[in-house]
Amino acid sequence: MRIVGTWLIGLALVLLVIDGTKSLAANAAVMTSLGDIWLQIHAQSLDSVREFFHSRFFANLLDRVFDALLTYPAFAVIGVPGIVLALLGRKPRRERFLRTDDI
Query: What's the pLDDT tens digit per position in 20-34?
Result: 999 999 999 999 999
pLDDT at 54 over 80: yes
The rounded percent of the chain whose pLDDT value lies above 90 is 71
Q: Are 53 and 63 contacting, i.e. CB atoms less than 8 angstroms apart?
A: yes
pLDDT band at 91 (very low <50, low <70, confident <90, very high): confident
pLDDT band at 90 (very low <50, low <70, confident <90, very high): confident
Angle subtended at Cα 19 by Cα 13 and Cα 24, rounded to the nearest 5 degrees? 125
Q: What residues have CB less than 8 Å from 20, skipping those under 6 apart? A: none
Question: Could you give the 3-state DSSP secondary structure of residue 73?
Answer: strand
